[in-house]
């Protein structure tokens, strides 16, 4: 009897203090809103992949499907106003994978505004040719929506380089605030950055977000496999695409991002061996810019919940495959890299 008397309260206490995960995402409160960020979606199976064993199987991507299914299911509960894909939509740049990617994104089409950054895997080699992306996600796909701002037109003689929605911007509003989000391809060349500067300047009265594929990761180009994990990290000074015309992440910051006082957030992916990373820096006008890397593979996607009354952004990583909050990963065990809060002024400060 004494043993039972002691153990029952201890069990109750344990249940009370341990976090409970796996049930459902907590709903967004009135006055808040969310932006969903989809990391690299390269987990394809079947035909058109590197697997010889699956060469005759249908091409699928269960992780990508789970993410977009979850977003659609949670649109109202999470008050999701925009969805941004950081790029590497496919793993291998072929029709089989692009068709699956299109089907996954079709679930969002017409239900919520969204934009897509073109990653290095979404191009042909290192040339910057994104013809297949443009085939499945062309400008014409979005022309009917009033939230679609437009895209970089591309070069007249080479539209497959950077053109036809490979670089685009979207406009949306939430809780009385107006936003612009610019989606830029990996290592965008100077003409694209000139266009982005014009777009951001034209919409200087809107709060600005940029999604681009490469931003944070190993500072220098890794020379050894372990460098992807262990070398110093920050805004990268190396590149993968567009050859001599491509800009590194640091160059994109200097030539474009740092110049705009309305910019407060940069989302990126690309570095699966960094997986999750963030830093907050100052732009040329003293504005704080939060840079967030997420490349979770099958571990989840990001929900950024804006809380205007608190001047906070709650960033939550959710695993829709397991139906659980991502508290840690084998690579990044620290919880505060997956679940954290950012300061961002949304209400007028008192004089």
Residue-wise pLDDT for 118-140, tens only, equals 999 999 978 899 999 999 999 99
Domain of 189 in residue numbering reads as 30-343
Q: What is the CATH number of the domain that holds 138?
A: 3.60.21.10
pLDDT at residue 2, as a whole number? 33
* Residue 234 β-bridge partners: 217
- Are 86 and 213 in contact by the 8 Å Cβ rule? The answer is yes
Q: Are strands 80-85 and 114-116 parallel, antiparallel or unpaired?
A: parallel
pLDDT digits (tens, 9 = 90+) for 32-71: 999 999 999 999 999 999 888 888 899 999 999 999 999 9
Longest dimension (CA), the chain: 86
C-alpha span between 199 and 280 (Å, rounded): 23
Average pLDDT over residues 133-154: 97
Q: Is residue 10 part of a domain?
A: no
The total number of structural domains in the chain stands at: 1
Asked if residues 299 and 318 have their Cβ atoms less than 8 Å apart, the reply is no
The answer to whether residue 244 scores a pLDDT higher than 90 is yes
17 in any annotated domain: no
Mean pLDDT score, 206-233: 95
Q: Is residue 23 in some structural domain?
A: no
Among 140, 127, 55, 135, smallest CA distance to 90 is for: 135
Give the whole-number percent of the chain exceeding pLDDT 70: 93
pTM: 0.91
Q: Does residue 34 form part of some domain?
A: yes
3 domain-assigned: no
């Amino acid at each position: 009897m004494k043993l039972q008397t002691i153990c029952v309260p201890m069990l109750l206490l344990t249940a009370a203090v341990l976090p409970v995960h796996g049930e459902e995402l907590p709903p967004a409160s009135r006055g808040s809103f969310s932006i969903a960020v989809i990391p690299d979606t390269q987990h394809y199976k079947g035909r058109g992949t590197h697997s010889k064993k699956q060469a005759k199987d249908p091409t699928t991507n269960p992780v990508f499907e789970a993410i977009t299914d979850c977003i659609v299911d949670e649109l109202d509960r999470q008050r999701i106003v925009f969805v941004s894909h950081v790029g590497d939509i496919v793993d291998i740049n072929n029709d089989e994978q692009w068709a699956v990617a299109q089907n996954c994104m079709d679930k969002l089409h017409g239900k919520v505004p969204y934009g897509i950054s073109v990653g290095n895997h979404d191009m042909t080699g290192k040339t910057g040719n994104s013809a297949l992306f443009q085939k499945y996600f062309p400008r014409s796909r979005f022309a009917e929506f009033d939230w679609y701002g437009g895209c970089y037109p591309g070069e007249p003689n080479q539209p497959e380089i950077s053109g036809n929605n490979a670089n685009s911007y979207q406009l949306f509003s939430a809780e009385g605030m107006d936003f612009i989000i610019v989606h830029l391809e990996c290592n965008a060349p100077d003409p694209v950055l000139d266009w982005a500067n014009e777009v951001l300047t034209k919409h200087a009265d809107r709060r600005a977000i940029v999604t681009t594929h490469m931003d944070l990761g190993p500072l220098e180009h890794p020379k050894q496999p372990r460098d992807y994990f262990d070398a110093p990290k920050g805004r990268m000074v190396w590149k993968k695409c567009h050859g001599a015309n491509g800009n590194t992440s640091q160059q994109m910051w200097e030539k474009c991002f740092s110049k705009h006082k309305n910019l407060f957030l940069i989302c990126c992916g690309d570095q699966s061996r960094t997986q999750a990373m963030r830093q907050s820096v100052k732009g040329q006008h003293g504005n704080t810019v939060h840079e967030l890397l997420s490349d979770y593979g099958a571990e989840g996607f990001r929900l950024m919940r804006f809380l205007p009354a608190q001047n906070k952004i709650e960033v939550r990583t959710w695993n829709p495959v397991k139906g659980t909050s991502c508290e840690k990963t084998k690579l990044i065990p620290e919880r505060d890299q997956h679940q954290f809060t950012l300061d961002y002024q949304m209400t007028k400060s008192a004089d």
